[in-house]
Chain A
Amino acid sequence: MKKGLAILVSIICLALLAGSFTSVAAADKVRGVTDTEIIIGQWGPQTGPAALWGSVARGSGVYFDMINAEGGINGRKIKYVLRDDAYQPAKTKAIAKEFVEDIGVFGVACGVGTSPGMAVRDYLMENKVPWVGPATGSRHWTEPFQKYLFALYPRYADEAYLLTQYAVEKLNKKKIGFFYQNDDYGKEGMEGAKKYLDKKGIKLAAEVPVEVTDTDLKSHALKLKESGADAVIMWVLPKHAATILGQAKAAGFQPQWIASSTLSDAPLMHKLTKGLWEGVIYANFLDIDSPKVKKYLEAQKKFAPNEQNTGVFFLAGFMFVEPLVEGLRRAGKDLNPETFVKAMETIKNWNDWLGHDCTFTAQDHQGMRSIFLSKCGPEGKAEKIADWMTYKEGK
């Protein structure tokens, strides 16, 4: 009996020893990187209620195709793996597991949605998977600090701060109403607005929440009207933005509407609201007038000629991976998660992309804090009304 136990213990020890040897051997080889390839994964809703934003992931695909056609990065080509999570965090989790354990990706790009992203953030970080540019402005990407996570989308709170500041200081609005989706997305926006107003000693004239499933917004519109707000900031879904504009107009309430960057696809919003979007001021994180846009759309004609949605969200798919590719370039031939993070942290005030002033430091991985403002003109044409403005902590 005792002998049997001893044999068992020694077998286990041997097995453990062997295991540690193999893991030492694996450490030499970097997951997702070979001499000729770098594997990058992305999830994005290609089906389901959020499929509209699925074009982000397809945009990234075209950008990688373009980079590969130009010769790749330090002799390596990008192998891009796109998976559909239908905006369901449970599916995102399964995809992340597949990325790490089956496919073995080097890093992850973008990924639409705060809750899908939050479902896998800790898992990816534990496995040291570099993740660049989650396609939402939640603060959870950089608070608390995550070594392998680089956020690009300006934070909702910062964006709302800047929009409110603009409404009060430039538009001379006295009473600001806030119409928000009753979850993290909407609430983070409202926090930013309050942060600015608190400094000025002003209170929001109205805080009107909307649930994702709500259809009838008449009482919401009446509440906003009751408050007498002369400007209303919206942090909602396109559908609710369209509905509230109609209901408010029917109630005879027409304040200056101000919208978050999630509603920055002006032609689309103009169409959806049957023209009511004209005159709405909204934030942008992506420079649609950049000369790069033309080049990117040519690449789209070449690599994805069947793409239907080539608007802001499609281009955002390019924008969110531009710094990723820059980081891979700067990391050089010796590429692993550590050298990549170091390389990313050398990016300072970098402007060779569709965004503005990309900066990462060893303490702060929020790469972009700038927005510019546009006003929707006739036929949904965007008119720039304020150039890039940057949120600075403690200003």
Chain B
Amino acid sequence: MNFFFDLVIGGLSIGACYALVALAMVIIYKTSEVPNFAQGEMAMISTFIAFTLMSNYGAGFWTSAGITLLFALALGVVLEVAFLRPAKDPSILGLIVITLGAEMILYGLAGWKWGANQVPFPVPFSEYSGISPGGVMITEINIWTFVTSLVLMLLLFLFFRFTKLGVAMKAVQQNHFAAKAMGIPTRRVLSFTWGLSSVTGAVAGMLIAPISTLDPNMMLDPMMKGFAGAVLGGMTSLPGAALGGYLLGLIENFFGGYVSLEFKSVVAFGVIVLILCVKPSGLFVRHFERKV
């Protein structure tokens, strides 16, 4: 029975990371209908920044994490302004290709700056010890992952519900032209969307690095899984995408634990195909007619 609960904990903790990546994707997707494929690399670069601050400048973990989040915000804004905005009459496909290009540039940049070597990512909480109610081990990093992801989700919810900027973002995503006509600076809002998404991704990166290792390839897999989770839950719904991330983490771990480890990674993509066939708008989203 412990095996079962261990899998639940494992599934939820990696699921929380997938959920954050999924959220980061959905924040951008909702405002511009572009799945941002540079998401993973943006998070990876931010995590490397935190690592550099700690190892080269001797900064503490929390200082580094704080600076990293600011950096992530700037990175998101800069990418939007430098890459997406200059596109003339952009089609969705064109923008997707731009995000792919940005992904390759960031990947190359990380390889050049930090090399391909794996490095350990130090965190001030233990990856191995924690509490074990009834013999099921919940490590400190697990707890931190749960807490951080839940708090961040709550903050995002409050932000979109109660702040002017958050409401403006929702307005832009619902009707770009009307929002502009109402005096909302849509371009600035769009840039900020990227910044916010980048911050969410950076948090995911800093939670994934300690349970794995830090290297330029580290976000490849979590990013695809986060994407799958977002599709599973619904690309147009923040809570849906988050739930999708958790669900995917659980599905993966149960599949690995009880069926086959060989196909554990493939399950995510099987899920995408299945959902696209059965309920293309996602599990937790009411059927959504495309905007005309």
Contact = CB atoms under 8 A, between A and B. Distances in A.
Contacts of A251: 6, 137
A182 B266 CA distance: 13
- Residue in A210, A218, A247 with the greatest tally of chain B CB atoms within 10 Å: A218
Contact of A226 (B3, B118, B122): B3
Interface string B117-158: 111101000011100100001010100000000000000000
B72 to A, nearest CB: 20
A209 B257 CA distance: 12
B115 interface: yes
Contacts of A211: 262, 264-265
A48 B220 CA distance: 14
A79 interface: no
Interface string A186-213: 0000000000000000000000111101
Interface stretch (B83-91, B189-197, B209-217, B231-239): B209-217
B262 A243 contact: no
Nearest to A211: B265
Interface stretch (A49-57, A127-135, A295-303): A49-57
Contacts of B128: 246, 249-250
A243 B222 CA distance: 15
A274 interface: yes
Given A215-B218, A250-B139, A251-B137, A273 B120 contact: yes
Interface string B9-21: 0110110000000
A209 B120 contact: no
B265 A214 contact: yes
Contacts of A71: none
B106 to A, nearest CB: 15
A238 B217 contact: no
Interface string B251-266: 0110011000110110
A252 B10 CA distance: 14
A242 B212 CA distance: 7
Interface in A244-296: 246-247, 249-252, 271-274
Q: How large is the interface on B (under 10, 10 to 19, 20 to 34, 35 or more residues)?
A: 35 or more
B111 interface: yes
A239 interface: yes
A173 interface: no
B211 A48 contact: no
A239 B211 CA distance: 11
A213 B10 CA distance: 18
A247 B116 contact: no
B3 A215 contact: no
A220 B13 CA distance: 15
B22 interface: no
Contact of A213 (B6, B211, B262, B265): B265
B116 A49 contact: yes
A47 interface: yes
A219 B111 contact: no
A251 B13 CA distance: 14
Nearest to A217: B212
Interface string A211-235: 1011111111011001000000000
Given A182-B262, A238-B118, A274-B122, A218 B14 contact: yes
B117 to A, nearest CB: 5
Contacts of A239: 118, 212-213, 215
B230 interface: no
B116 A219 contact: no
Contacts of A182: 262
A223 B211 contact: no
Contact of A242 (B120, B139, B217, B261): B120
Contacts of B6: 218, 222, 251
A238 to B, nearest CB: 6
Given A49-B116, A274-B120, A252 B213 contact: no
B68 to A, nearest CB: 20
Interface of B: 3, 6-7, 10-11, 13-14, 111, 115-120, 122, 127-129, 132, 137, 139, 141, 208, 211-213, 215-218, 220-222, 249, 252-253, 256-257, 261-262, 264-265
12 contacts: A51-B111, A51-B117, A208-B261, A216-B10, A219-B252, A219-B257, A222-B10, A238-B213, A242-B118, A242-B212, A243-B213, A250-B139
Q: Which 3 A-B pairs have the closest CB atoms?
A: A218-B10, A219-B256, A51-B116
Given A214-B265, A218-B14, A222-B3, 4 more contacts: A208-B261, A239-B213, A243-B211, A246-B127
